[in-house]
């Protein structure tokens, strides 16, 4: 028995020695301090810029945030909780995604109920169908993929901003606020705007990744919609070829965000959210976001 034990210990020692000599070891955990330094260096090239970054990666059990609790105007990233609330209410049986509503361009301000219209939108085609019915499914798709402001406001009228906010909080968000539709200028002038943090957006995106936002089936459908996003100048632009990104962007004057689930080729998915403020040139904010995304991906997955 003693001889067998000695032989076993000898073999283990030989194996460990061989591993040390050949440098064989498992993958190294990401150096988050080095990542933070690299991101700080990129941001420093944009004086006056505010930049928040949040990462949630199950492969390394990482939840990492750079200024993750800083509040920004949410811009169109507020459409993520609206999307989730739509599917929650469908799941609860309130209505079907195939139910239709008539397209109109008149909404009520949360300040005094006065009417206002959407004047600026990235979904030009929808205005050609005013007065005609459109399914909630199609409205959700337009709201997400081409960031339709008209579709967003129509859905908020159906769902209720209070319900959107309540569901966000129930899912665990702490600071983000969804209080109104898009282009309510009276509310904007009083400082009543939708706001978000990178940490809260990351939490919602991670809920979608894991199928715990609404249900496995509903979340799978929402991820499919997010994969069809047409605005890809930030996070997807920093990824290696073959990487899929399910994401929602948002931008207004000096604000540019991207909230994503990243699907590396042959690797585990992770969540990345980048929020920027104070950069007037959207090409510059896109380039900064892409550079940050590339550094994050390299640290998490070891690929340029």
Provide the mean pLDDT of the chain.
Answer: 92
The number of C-alpha atoms within 13 Å of 294 and in the hemisphere containing its C-beta is 14
For 19-33, 94-108, 249-263, 266-280, which range has the lowest pLDDT when averaged over its residues? 19-33
What is the pLDDT averaged over residues 35-58? 98
Per residue in 158-207, pLDDT tens?
999 999 999 999 999 999 999 999 999 999 999 999 999 999 999 999 99
Neighbours of 119 (CB within 10 A): 9
User: With a threshold of 0.85, does the pTM exceed it?
Assistant: yes
Q: What is the pLDDT of residue 12?
A: 38
Q: Is the pLDDT of residue 11 over 70?
A: no
**Across 130-158, average pLDDT:** 97
DSSP 69-92: T--EE-GGGGHHHHHHHHHHHHHT
Rg of the chain over Cα atoms, rounded to whole angstroms, equals 23
Annotate 10-22 with b (16+ C-beta within 10 A) or e (fewer).
Answer: eeeeeeeeeeeee
User: Using CA of residue 130, residue 131, residue 137, residue 143, what is the dihedral sign?
Assistant: positive
Q: Which domains does the chain have, with CATH numbers?
A: 30-301 (3.40.710.10)
pLDDT greater than 90 at residue 58: yes
Whether 91 and 121 have beta carbons less than 8 Å apart is answered as no
């Amino acid at each position: 028995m003693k001889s067998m034990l000695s032989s076993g210990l000898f073999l283990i020692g030989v194996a460990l020695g061989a591993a040390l000599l050949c440098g064989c070891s498992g993958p190294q955990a990401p150096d988050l301090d080095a990542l933070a330094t690299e991101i700080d260096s990129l941001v420093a090239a944009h004086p006056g810029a505010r930049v928040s970054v949040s990462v949630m990666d199950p492969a390394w059990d990482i939840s990492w945030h750079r200024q993750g609790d800083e509040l920004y105007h949410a811009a169109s990233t507020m459409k993520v909780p609206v999307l989730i609330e739509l599917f929650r209410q469908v799941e609860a049986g309130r209505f079907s995604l195939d139910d239709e509503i008539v397209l109109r361009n008149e909404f009520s301000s949360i300040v005094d109920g006065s009417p206002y219209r959407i004047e600026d939108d990235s979904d030009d085609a929808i205005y050609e169908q005013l007065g005609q019915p459109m399914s909630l499914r199609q409205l959700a798709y337009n709201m997400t993929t081409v960031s339709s402001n008209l579709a967003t406001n129509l859905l908020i009228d159906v769902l209720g901003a209070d319900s959107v906010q309540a569901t966000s909080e129930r899912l665990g968000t702490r600071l983000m606020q969804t209080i109104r539709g898009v282009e309510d200028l009276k509310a904007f002038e009083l400082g009543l705007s939708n706001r978000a943090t990178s940490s809260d957006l990351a939490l919602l995106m991670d809920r979608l990744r894991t199928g715990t936002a609404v249900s496995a089936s509903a979340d799978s459908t929402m991820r499919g919609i997010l994969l069809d996003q047409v605005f890809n100048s930030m996070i997807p632009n920093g990824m290696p070829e073959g990487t899929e990104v399910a994401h929602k962007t948002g931008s207004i004057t000096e604000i540019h965000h991207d909230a994503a689930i990243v699907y590396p080729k042959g690797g585990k998915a992770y969540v990345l959210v980048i929020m920027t403020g104070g950069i007037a040139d959207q090409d510059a904010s896109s380039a900064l976001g892409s550079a940050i995304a590339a550094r994050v991906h390299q640290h998490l997955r070891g690929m340029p």
